[in-house]
Structure 1
Amino acid sequence: MNLTGNSPLFRYMGNRGHRQGLWLLPAALALAIACWLAFATDQFATSENALNLVAQAMPLLITAVGQMLVVLIGGLDLSVGSVISFTTAVLALGGPAYVIVPSVLLLAAVIGFVNGVCVTRLHVHPIIATLSMQYIVLGITRVLRPVSGGTVPDIVRWSVEGHVFGIQMPLIWGAITLLVAWKLLYGTRYGVHLFAIGGGSAAGMDDAARNFGIPARRNIMLAYVGSSLFACAAGIFLAGRIVSGDPNVGLLFELDAVTAVAIGGTQLSGGVGSLQGTVVGVAILALLSNGMNLLNVTPFVQTAIKGCLLMFVVALQSRRRIGL
């Protein structure tokens, strides 16, 4: 296969002709993986495994949607994994749910706000800013909860394990996440601004959006706040699923989220992407993880495969300059 910069595959994956990105090829890949697993294992094509697959994929879906907000502007948020762990640790401290849940959401918003200030006001590269925040939040998390334990409020547990009118709560979480994300990206002026900011950044014209009257700094800061809030929501879901706090539960979520966004056709240089593509990217990773678990593949090999997949997808994306 020709993998030079002029190959059809490079031109397909790097095409910036449509801001929705090219996600049909990954969708076909997800379908192929599902069909292969249905034939390769007896446990895959069961209702129990399907529900388990949805529950396993939901934290990643929520995190990846938030990550996509930042990637669209040409940024990256590497602090989401620590935010997830931090959320579970805070929820497991004890206390009434009506106090502790809003508090952890507020703290997550502050984390995102600080990330945004570092990027827009202090002009720190997004990778450095959010990587620093990752270590800061991780350190605080391990002070609060050195090892897994504690108990989370009953309402948090019910929000994951319960059901409404016979509908399992993970499905409701997914529906709410996608509705909120769809409204943000396609139902408001804010979504248009994100694409415009990212498009200018990808073309090497960082001031293009600002020259057209778009409040770029404010929108970038809101993107980082949104990313942290989505990561916090994923942490709430995970806390309800494991019914405790865990300082390591968010480990490598940032890698998985970026990989899912990139696989779904969102350009890491910004300006091009789609919500459906992110969903497809999450589905591919969830299917691979579920299938490898059913085939008894060691988690270490799974992590290596995800890393190779991310490197391959990013290599296929066209970039005008060195960077994301």
Structure 2
Amino acid sequence: MTSSSSTFEKLLTSRGSRRGLWLLPLVIAIAMALWLAATTSQFGQSSNLANLVAQGMPLLITAVGQMFVVLVGGLDLSIGSVVSFTTAILALDLPGFVTIPAVFVLAGLIGATNGYCVTRLSVHPIVATLSMQYIVLGITRVLRPVSGGAVPDSVRWMVEGSLFGIPLPVFWGIVTMLVAWKLLYGSRYGLHLFAIGGGVASGSADAARNFGIPANRNILLAYVICTLFAALAGVFLAGRIVSGDPNVGLLMELDAITAVAIGGTQLSGGVGSLHGTVIGVAALALLSNGMNLLNVTPFVQTAIKGILLMAVVALQSRKKIGL
């Protein structure tokens, strides 16, 4: 009995686990879904559920990418601009076989620049990525001052189509999680990320290097992965809105950070899990969907998300915030 109680306590508090606190957010997400189903007639409708998946997919993709950077004690504030930049590139009057590869190459270069500034130039992650946010946003608004243009039909089909009767957005989520799972748990790289972040969180940033782990290279790669996922989210959004929009990624970086933190990933680094991030995304998507159904204004929604992020970070058990 004592053993079972101890196991449950560890799950509930995440004590002694590098996966973070994920069980409690899962319970909250389930309770939220049940409450919305009981109090609103629209929530359980198939159209709303399909819309919930489509609306939550960009957040899932960007949050998974953000998690890689957070695990090493960093942060990427440029991903919202990368999402907008991606839609602007795709809306140029160019064929899809040119623009689609281009957005991922450019996103990789943005991530590599972020990582280089953080690892080689010792620029604080917030300063480096915030600067990049403004740079990319400025370029985006030169390319596309207002929303408009048209994206390739192939991009639209990848989002609006279906396969075996299943909407394609579902496959976007599956592929995103499979790739992230392989990187985090099916490769040595994932072990290195946790080791690097654990050292940063404990105040020993060089701990991983002392064991022969190429920390700078792995951190730089984490930033590249983050922006590549942001570009993927941009492709998805471009297919949904069928145009380029310089504002479509606005505040998406904060939503991604909030989802990652809700899912139990410690912002000090070294602790977190893929399933926790998925749970955090689900909880935040349900919250947004519920507020929309209850006709809560977007301004109030933004304020509530800000309060939620502050509360989640304040409740994280940590020696210090590694930012």
TM-score (norm 2): 0.95
In 2, Cα distance between equivalents of 1:15 and 1:125: 29
Aligned to 2:220: 221
- Cα contact 2:71–2:271 (8 A) shared by 1: yes
Cross-structure match for 2:165: 166
Instruction: Name the counterpart of 1:288.
Output: 287
- Residues 181 and 127 of structure 1: is their aligned pair in 2 closer, same or farther, counting only changes over 3 Å? same
The one-letter amino acid paired with 1:19 is R
Distance of 1:301 and 1:139 partners within structure 2: 28
Q: Check conservation: 1:263, 1:278, Cα contact below 8 A.
A: yes
Report the counterpart of residue 24 of structure 2 in structure 1: 25
Displacement, 1:321? 3.1
1:81 pairs with 2:80: yes
Query: Separation in 2 of the partners of 1:29 and 1:104?
Result: 37
Three-state SS of the structure 2 residue aligned to 1:318 is coil
| 8 Å Cα contact 1:13-1:265 kept in structure 2 | no
The 5-angstrom pairing of residues 1-324 of structure 1 reads 15=14, 17-321=16-320, 323-324=322-323
Q: Secondary structure at the match of 2:74?
A: coil
What SS does the corresponding residue of 2:148 show, helix, strand or coil?
Answer: coil
Whether the 8 Å CA contact 2:75–2:126 is kept in 1: the answer is yes
Unaligned runs of 5+ in 2: 1-9
Task: Provide the rounded CA distance (Å) in 2 between the counterparts of 1:101 and 1:141.
Answer: 16
- Seq. identity, %: 75
SS in 1 for 2:203: coil
- C-alpha distance in 1 between matches for 2:296 and 2:283: 16
Structure 1: stretches of 5+ with no match in the other structure: 1-10
Output the CA distance in 1 between the equivalents of 2:162 and 2:14. 42
Amino acid paired to 1:203: S
User: How far apart in 1 are the matches of 2:81 and 2:129?
Assistant: 10
CA contact (8 A) 1:210 1:216 kept: yes
Alignment CA distance shift 1:154-1:121 (3 Å): same
Moved over 6 A (4+): 11-14
Is this contact kept in 1: 2:268–2:320, CA < 8 A? no
- What is the alpha-carbon root mean square deviation over aligned residues? 1.2
Give the Cα–Cα distance (whole angstroms) in 1 for the partners of residues 315 and 69 of structure 2.
20
**C-alpha distance in 2 between matches for 1:161 and 1:307:** 31
Q: Distance in 2 between matches of 1:59 and 1:40?
A: 27
